[in-house]
Amino acid sequence: MMTGFRLFLRRCVRITVAPGREVDQIVSDRTRLGGWLLGWLVTALSMLWVGEALWPVWNSVAGYLGVALLAAAPWILIQGGVLHLAGRLMGGRGRWDTTVALCGYGTVPFLALALILGGGIAVYVRVFGPIPFHLASILLLVLALLVAMITGLVIVRHGLSSNYGLSTRRAWLVTAVGALVFTLGNNALRGGYVTRCAITVANLAAMPQIPVPLVAAGSGEARRLSLEYAANLRYYRETAIRRGDILIFRGQDGHGWMGRVLGLPGEQAGLQNGHLVVDGALQFEPWQTSGDLTIPPRQIGPDEYFLWTDERTPDLELATESRFPAIAKRDQILGPVLRLDVVLLSWVFGQPRA
């Protein structure tokens, strides 16, 4: 098995670094099929949000994974096909299926870089604790740039290379424009359904049922650390907000917050010794809570929701720059955390540490 794996990696490397004139000698029907499959699977990793954003009522991780696989198949074909068509219009003479296959092999370095970066961050967090958000952002930016460079190199040297009748300068132009169009298109589509919001780490640390990689160790760390979490903007267009939902919303201070919905519009809700009281009656909470915080009952407006965390200790506020916004208006709510993001984070980083 290890011998077969080494041979597979050797073929990927050879196809990636070989000069364009050697492509026809290397690429066979089996090699093309391997490139398509690689491109399909790796592209699916970037399409995981599609199912959960468009059909949030499914609430099934398996269903969302299936949608991602279905969405990735035409996307990798369209991406390679459009770049190849652009190359043909500019004088190239390459084969479409070869270009698409080489796009797939170009995702191998991307997958390797993603695994190395994700694994490195996971090990760092488990061993040393929190990692500054700006450092994580820089690492992700470097990964994105490397992926763009490697993919561009593959396209230029193979599908659009000079031996197919396309000059190197024109090939680089086609690659750059094509990559820019697809990147902007993908982000525009995603932005219509998904937003990324900086959540205060102190709040995340108070939500032990949400797996998060960054946990503040003290008040100073909580003030300088944050974590971007993806929220589904479409979810509450399809479903009503219910008691117990965990969602992301923007506070008046401009920060992103995550909290559990405890009180609904028109109710009078508060906390008594850490327990939820609605309209004067003690409510059963199936989720795990801790702490004995008391918040006097307050009347919730017609377009407002009462939210709090599961850790209800009086000193929670000391770990944040400003008071946790217990009341959020409907237009402040961004949506729930994407479930697949939570599952993947829990696999990589495990449960948060106190």
Tell me which residue of 48, 59, 67, 47 sits closest to 238, measured CA to CA.
Answer: 59
Whether residue 171 is found in the same domain as residue 234: no
How many domains is the chain built from? 2
Last residue of a domain, one of 162, 191, 220: 191
Q: Is the Cβ–Cβ distance between 129 and 138 less than 8 Å?
A: no
Whether residues 219 and 343 fall in one domain: yes
CB atoms within 10 A of CB 225: 22
55 and 186, same domain (yes or no): yes
Least confident of 10-14, 193-197, 330-334, 342-346: 10-14
Q: Does 340 fall in a domain?
A: yes
Residues 177, 203: one domain? Answer: no
Pairing of strands 281-282, 226-232: unpaired
- The answer to the question of residue 20 being in a domain is yes
pLDDT surpassing 90 at residue 306: yes
Give pTM, 2 decimals.
Answer: 0.71
Residue 91 maps to a domain: yes
Classified as helix, coil or strand, 230 is: strand
Q: Is 209 a member of any domain?
A: yes
Answer whether residue 125 shows pLDDT above 80. Answer: no
Whether residues 49 and 25 fall in one domain: yes
Residue 304's pLDDT is what?
94
Say yes or no: 95 and 229 in one domain: no
Picking from 88-97, 143-152, 258-267, which range would have the lowest pLDDT averaged per residue?
143-152
Does position 55 have pLDDT exceeding 90, yes or no?
no
Task: Specify whether 81 is located in the same domain as 6.
Answer: yes
What's 28-63 look like in SS3?
CHHHHHHHHHHHHHHHHHCCCHHHHHHCHHHCCHHH
Classify residue 229: in a domain, yes or no: yes
pLDDT at 67 over 90: yes
The whole-chain average pLDDT of the chain stands at: 75
> Is residue 113 located within the same domain as residue 33?
yes
In a domain, 354, yes or no: no
User: What is the average per-residue pLDDT within 249-261?
Assistant: 82
Task: Give me the mean pLDDT over the 80-108 stretch.
Answer: 75
Name the token pair of 115: 């695994």
Q: Which domain holds residue 282?
A: 196-349
The reply to whether 184 and 292 lie within a common domain is: no
167 has a pLDDT exceeding 80: no
- Nearest Cα to Cα of residue 122 among 108, 144, 139: 139
Give the confidence band of 42 by pLDDT, cuts at 50, 70, 90. Answer: confident
Range with the poorest average pLDDT among 48-52, 303-307, 317-321: 317-321
**More confident of the two residues 208 and 199:** 199
Q: In angstroms, rounded to a whole number, what is the distance separating the alpha carbons of residues 176 and 160? A: 12
Residue 239 resides in a domain: yes
Among 191, 212, 227, give the residue marking a domain's end.
191
Instruction: Find the helix or strand (DSSP H, E) in which 116 lies.
Output: helix 96-128
Query: Do 227 and 163 lie in a common domain?
Result: no
Helix (H) or strand (E) holding 200: strand 194-200
- What tokens were used for 15? 């196809």
C-alpha dihedral (273, 275, 276, 278), degrees to nearest 10? -70
CA angle 144, 191, 114 (to 5 degrees): 25
Residue 29 clears pLDDT 50, i.e. is over it: yes
Look at residue 109 and tell me whether its pLDDT is greater than 70. Answer: no
Residue 276 has pLDDT above 90, yes or no: yes
Task: State which of 163, 191, 219 marks the end of a domain.
Answer: 191
142, 201: one domain:
no
- CATH of residue 216's domain is 2.10.109.10
CA angle 186, 190, 191 (to 5 degrees): 115
Residue 220 domain flag: yes
- Domain shared by 158 and 181, yes or no: yes
Whether pLDDT at 219 is above 50: yes
Look at residue 156 in the predicted model and tell me its pLDDT: 60
Compute the average pLDDT of residues 55-60.
83
